[in-house]
Amino acid sequence: MIRFGTAGNPEDFYAKSGKSALEMPEYLKTIGLNAYEYQCTFGIKITPDACEILKEKAEENGIFLSVHAPFFTDISSESEEKIKDSIGLVLKTAEISDYMGASRIVMHMGSAKYITRRKGMEITFNTVRKILRKLEENNLSHISVCPETMGKFDMMGTYDEVLELCVNFDNLIPALDFGHINSITQ
């Protein structure tokens, strides 16, 4: 089944007196959409209780949920500390995804500003192995990780890089952002 939805809450939602992500499933159903990507853009701030409410409302309204990991996730960094923090962020995102019944995490691969793209891919492959191991250790391997295509030349995540990564791991699904793809191919 093909699903269409929003990544985050659109302006129209707020214009129609929407106040909380917990109201999004009902809103999306009224406009004929059936998917919602909950955004953890600047950190994971939703509580497990709120996740449960979002899950119930999504189920009631036929909305498929996914969660976007924080933007500062950087799985291609040469910094061991950043890698460790990023793995922790992905794991925490998986935990809240599980609470809300979301089966997919969308994440950015990270910066390519100070390294070659090939080196970035080597680091990314190693980091993904660690992420998948951590998900398995924490009984979260049913959550798929979706590396997203990016729209800036100094970021990892070209169409080819995302596909190269996804074809090499079973639990990865490409998140193809057509606006991002278009911005670096024009």
- 184: exposed, middle or buried (Cβ count in 10 Å: 0-12, 13-18, 19+): middle
Q: Digits of tens for pLDDT over the chain (186 positions)?
A: 789 999 999 999 999 999 999 999 999 999 999 999 999 989 999 999 999 999 999 999 999 999 999 998 999 999 999 999 999 999 999 999 999 999 999 999 998 888 999 999 999 999 999 999 999 999 999 999 999 988 778 888 889 999 999 999 999 999 976 677 677 776
151-174 burial string, b = 16+ CB within 10 Å, else e? Answer: beeebbbbbebbeebbeebebbbb
According to the model, what pLDDT value does residue 150 have?
Answer: 87
According to the model, what pLDDT value does residue 54 have?
Answer: 98
Copy the structure tokens of residue 138: 């924490």
- 95: exposed, middle or buried (Cβ count in 10 Å: 0-12, 13-18, 19+): middle
According to the model, what pLDDT value does residue 181 have?
Answer: 67
